[in-house]
Amino acid sequence: MSARDQSSPHWNDPGAAKGGMHPDLHADASSRSLRTPSISCVVPAFNEAQNLPRLLPVLIDQLRLLTNSWEIVIIDDGSSDTTLATLQPWLNGPGVVCLALSRNFGKEAALGAGLDHARGDVVITLDADLQHPVELLAPMLTSWREGSDMVYAVRADRSAESALKRFGARVFYSLMRFGSSIEIPPHAGDFRLMDRCVVDALCALPERTRFMKGLYAWVGYRSSAIEFTPPPRLAGNSGFGVRALFSLAASGITAFSNLPLRLASALGFVLAFIAIAYGMWVMIDHFINGGDVAGWATIVVGLMFFSGVQLLFIGVLGEYLGRVYEEVKLRPRYIVARRLGSSQIDMPPPSLSAQPR
C-alpha cells in the first residue's frame, strides 16, 4: 500500500492542472490544518455478520486516533443473516449508528442512505469486508488537510480478480472515456474521503438511479488519489457477480453517455448507404449487363440482418427509456425501516423517513 502523489495531487480543477498549488488551496489548507474535523464513516453492509465484528474495533481505534468527534453509519442493506444482531454491542454505546433498510436496495442506494444521514465535516465511505484498509484513513485525512475535497483510493493491482472481471473493467473504462464527457478515474472505487461540500452536492442530486462512481466525478471538486492493493474479502462472498456487474456497467453507461444512441444512428446511416449502393449496383448490372436480379437468398439474408440490427437498437432505446421510467416514477431511493444507535457528532438527527428527492 502506498500513498501516491501526495505532494502533487491530481486536481479535477483545470486551473490547477497547469502546475503549482491552486490559490484557493493555500487558504483551505491552512484553515483545515488548524482544526480537527468530525468524521463520519459510511459502511454499507449486506450479510456482513462475520466481517463487521472484525472491522468495527479496528475502525474505531483508527477514528479515535484521528478525531474526538466521530460516527460510524452502518447501512444494513436488507441482510438475511445476523448482521443486525451482531451490531448490538456497538449500538449500545455512542458512535455507531445503524440504518436498517426495509429490504435489499443495492450498494449504490445503501451508500446514498449513508451519505444522507452522515453528519461529519468529513465523510469516508468504505466496505464492510476489510478490503478497504483502515490504515489509509490517516493519509486520506492528510490529503484533505492539504486541500483536497475528495480523496479516492485507486486499486494498484487487480491481478487477484478474475480475467473476465478485469476484461470487463477495461472495456467499461474505455467506453466511458470515449463516450462520456466526464472523466471517471479508472480503478477507483467507493473507498473515498469527501469533504462536507462534496457530500452536500451529491445528496442534492435528484436522480434515483445512482451510479456513484460517475456522480463522484460529475460533482467535480478538487480530487486526489491514493493507491492501495485490496486484500481478499475477509469472509463471505462478493455481492457482485457477473450479472450484477454487467447491470452496474449498463446503468453507468446509460447515465453518463449517449454513445450507444449515437452508434445506432451512425450504423443506421452506414447500412442505409450500403443498401442504396447495392440497389444501384443491381439496377445497373440488370439494365447494362443484362445480369439476373439476385434471388430470394439475398432478400432473406438482408431482411434478417436489418431486423437484427433494428431489434438490437430498439433494445438500446429501451434501456434509456427504462432509465427515464425509473426517474419519472419518483419512488424514494431507499426506505429506512429502523434507525438504531446514536452518533457522537452533536447535531439534530435527520428525519427517519426515506428521502424522496
Tell me which residue has cell 490504515: 135
**Shortest gap between Cβ of 83 and Mg ion (angstroms)?**
15
Reduced to 3 states, what is the DSSP secondary structure of residue 201? helix
**Shortest gap between Cβ of 109 and Mg ion (angstroms)?**
17
- Output 72 or 264, the one with its CB closest to ligand UDP: 72
Name the DSSP letter for residue 71.
E
- Output 107 or 210, the one with its CB closest to ligand UDP: 107
Q: Cβ(258)–Cβ(179) under 8 Å?
A: yes
Which of ligand UDP, Mg ion, none sits in contact with 106, Cβ below 5 to 8 A by type?
ligand UDP
| 210 forms part of the interface with ligand UDP (CB under 6 A) | no
Tell me which residue has cell 419512488: 331
Which of ligand UDP, Mg ion, none sits in contact with 71, Cβ below 5 to 8 A by type?
none
Residue 18: exposure state from Cβ atoms within 10 A (0-12, 13-18, ≥19): exposed
Residue 356: partners with Cβ closer than 8 Å, 6 or more residues away: 330, 331, 332
| 131 forms part of the interface with Mg ion (CB under 5 A) | yes
Measured CA to CA, the distance from residue 179 to residue 173 in angstroms comes to 10
Which of Mg ion, ligand UDP, none sits in contact with 70, Cβ below 5 to 8 A by type?
none
**Shortest gap between Cβ of 109 and ligand UDP (angstroms)?**
8
Residue type, 357: R
| 233 forms part of the interface with ligand UDP (CB under 6 A) | yes
Interface mask toward ligand UDP for 298-337; x: CB under 6 A: ----------------------------------------
| 51 forms part of the interface with Mg ion (CB under 5 A) | no
| 129 forms part of the interface with ligand UDP (CB under 6 A) | yes
| 28 forms part of the interface with Mg ion (CB under 5 A) | no
| 47 forms part of the interface with Mg ion (CB under 5 A) | no
Stretch of 98-106, 118-126, 128-136, 243-251 lying at the interface with Mg ion (CB under 5 A):
128-136
| 110 forms part of the interface with ligand UDP (CB under 6 A) | yes
Selected from 9, 37, 106, 252, the binder of ligand UDP by CB under 6 A is 106
The partner residues of 40 in beta bridges, in order of sequence, read: 71, 123
Give me Rg for the CA atoms of the chain: 25
Selected from 28, 48, 76, 129, the binder of Mg ion by CB under 5 A is 129
Residue 197: partners with Cβ closer than 8 Å, 6 or more residues away: 149, 221
- Output 106 or 120, the one with its CB closest to ligand UDP: 106
Tell me which residue has cell 434501456: 319
Q: Cβ(123)–Cβ(186) under 8 Å?
A: no
- Output 80 or 289, the one with its CB closest to ligand UDP: 80
Stretch of 11-19, 198-206, 237-245, 257-265 lying at the interface with ligand UDP (CB under 6 A):
237-245
Residue 189: partners with Cβ closer than 8 Å, 6 or more residues away: 132, 152, 153, 155, 213
**Which grid coordinates are listed for 207?**
436522480
Number of alpha carbons in the 13 Å side-chain half-sphere of residue 21: 14
Which of ligand UDP, Mg ion, none sits in contact with 320, Cβ below 5 to 8 A by type?
none
Q: Cβ(186)–Cβ(127) under 8 Å?
A: no
Which of ligand UDP, Mg ion, none sits in contact with 179, Cβ below 5 to 8 A by type?
none
The partner residues of 76 in beta bridges, in order of sequence, read: 45, 100
Q: Cβ(72)–Cβ(56) under 8 Å?
A: yes
Residues 15-74 that bind ligand UDP (CB under 6 A): 44-46, 48
Q: Cβ(98)–Cβ(76) under 8 Å?
A: yes
Q: Give the footprint of ligand UDP on this chain (CB under 6 A).
A: 44-46, 48, 77, 104, 106-107, 110, 127-129, 131, 233, 238-240
Q: Give the footprint of Mg ion on this chain (CB under 5 A).
A: 127, 129, 131, 233
